[in-house]
């Protein structure tokens, strides 16, 4: 769990709550251990599709979170591993299956180097505190200003820290189906909450949620898609569908909060 600073929003040189990177690395060690075990399964059987799919999921999650915690090279390596496992799933029994275990082992070594080699802090980017609302009339107390739909608990807790530090009213959902049901029922009292909507969700993907909301309650939310898939075609797909913007993971917390400030208006 990402620690939440209770003393006024202190951050480290990466714009993160104190101790967050160390705690992230503790979890990353466990995640890397699981990836290493999957690599050994592929050494034994390169066409083990269950192991390949589990490896793809772990790589996808690491790709989306590592850079947000100050490990951009780990996100790059994880993206390469995700691409490799996707190809393996498309061709599970081809002639290269016997090499997959060794390839996976090489990815494990590269991920370990990217995560656990000491790195310097990036140039500091100071973002001014959010200004007070222009009007003393606040929205209804039960209407969130920001709604986060994100299944990665590490990223969700990072955003939670930032939103709490800025004093936003917000809610978080991890499951696509649960989120859609709740969003349908949410009374916004004339407000238009900002919806940070992950594309890759369990149960129901972000695009399907967006289409359902547009059909059933158009204009109720301002939607920003979040995803590791940052290609031009993916971003255009979201923008042409009517989204406000597109935020690519891994994301800098400071940059994300500055964007949220502009989108929310405070």
Tens digit of each residue's pLDDT (9 = 90 or more) over 138-189: 445 678 999 999 998 888 888 888 898 888 999 999 999 999 999 999 999 9
- The Cα 250–Cα 83 span in angstroms is 16
In the predicted model, is pLDDT for residue 12 greater than 70? no
**Is cis: bond before 250, omega within 30 of 0?**
yes
**Residue 10 domain-assigned (yes or no):** no
| Same domain? 42 vs 105 | yes
The pLDDT of residue 135 is: 37
**Residue 152 domain-assigned (yes or no):** yes
DSSP state, residue 95 = G
- Token readout for 190 is 């004339």
**Residue 233 domain-assigned (yes or no):** yes
- Token readout for 68 is 């947000």
**Residue 98 domain-assigned (yes or no):** yes
State the chain's mean pLDDT as an integer: 84
| Same domain? 259 vs 164 | yes
In the predicted model, is pLDDT for residue 88 greater than 70? yes
The pLDDT of residue 166 is: 86
Is 224 in contact with 194 (CB distance < 8 Å)? yes
- pTM here? 0.68
**Residue 190 domain-assigned (yes or no):** yes
Is 76 in contact with 250 (CB distance < 8 Å)? no
Number of domains in the chain: 2
Q: Which of 134, 50, 62, 130 is nearest to 92 (CA)?
A: 50
**Residue 107 domain-assigned (yes or no):** yes
CATH number for the domain spanning 203: value is 3.40.50.2300
Helices (H), 140-245: 153-166, 176-185, 206-216, 232-240
Is 145 in contact with 168 (CB distance < 8 Å)? yes
How sure is the predictor about 32, in pLDDT bands with cuts at 50, 70 and 90? Answer: confident
Residue range 55-84: mean pLDDT, rounded? 90
- The Cα 65–Cα 67 span in angstroms is 6
The pLDDT of residue 27 is: 86
Is 6 in contact with 14 (CB distance < 8 Å)? no
The pLDDT of residue 196 is: 97
The pLDDT of residue 140 is: 57
**Residue 90 domain-assigned (yes or no):** yes
| Same domain? 150 vs 246 | yes
Q: Which of 17, 15, 16, 14 is nearest to 4 (CA)?
A: 17
Compute CA distances 200 → 71, 175, 207, whole Å. 21, 10, 9
DSSP state, residue 218 = T
Domain holding 105, by residue range, is 20-116
């Amino acid at each position: 769990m990402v620690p939440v600073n209770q003393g006024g929003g202190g951050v480290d040189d990466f714009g993160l709550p104190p101790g967050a990177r160390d705690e992230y690395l503790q979890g990353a060690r466990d995640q890397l251990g699981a990836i290493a075990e999957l690599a050994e399964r592929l050494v034994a059987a390169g066409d083990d599709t269950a192991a390949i799919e589990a490896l793809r999921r772990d790589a996808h999650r690491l790709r989306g979170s590592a850079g947000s915690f100050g490990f951009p090279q780990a996100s790059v390596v994880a993206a390469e591993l995700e691409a490799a496992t996707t190809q393996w799933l498309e061709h599970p029994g081809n002639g290269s299956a016997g090499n997959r275990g060794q390839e996976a082992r090489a990815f494990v070594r590269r991920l370990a180097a990217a995560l656990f080699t000491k790195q310097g802090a990036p140039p500091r980017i100071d973002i001014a505190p959010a200004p007070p609302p222009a009007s003393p009339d606040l929205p209804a107390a039960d209407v969130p200003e920001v709604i986060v739909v994100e299944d990665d608990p590490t990223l969700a807790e990072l955003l939670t820290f930032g939103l709490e530090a800025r004093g936003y009213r917000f809610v978080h959902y991890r499951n696509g189906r649960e989120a859609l049901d709740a969003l349908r029922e949410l009374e916004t009292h004339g407000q238009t909450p900002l919806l940070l909507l992950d594309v890759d969700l369990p149960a129901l993907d972000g695009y399907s949620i967006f289409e359902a909301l547009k059909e059933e309650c158009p204009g109720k939310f301002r939607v920003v898609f979040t995803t590791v898939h940052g290609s031009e075609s993916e971003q255009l797909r979201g923008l042409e569908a009517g989204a406000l913007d597109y935020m690519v993971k891994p994301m800098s917390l400071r940059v994300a909060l500055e964007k949220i400030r502009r989108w929310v208006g405070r």
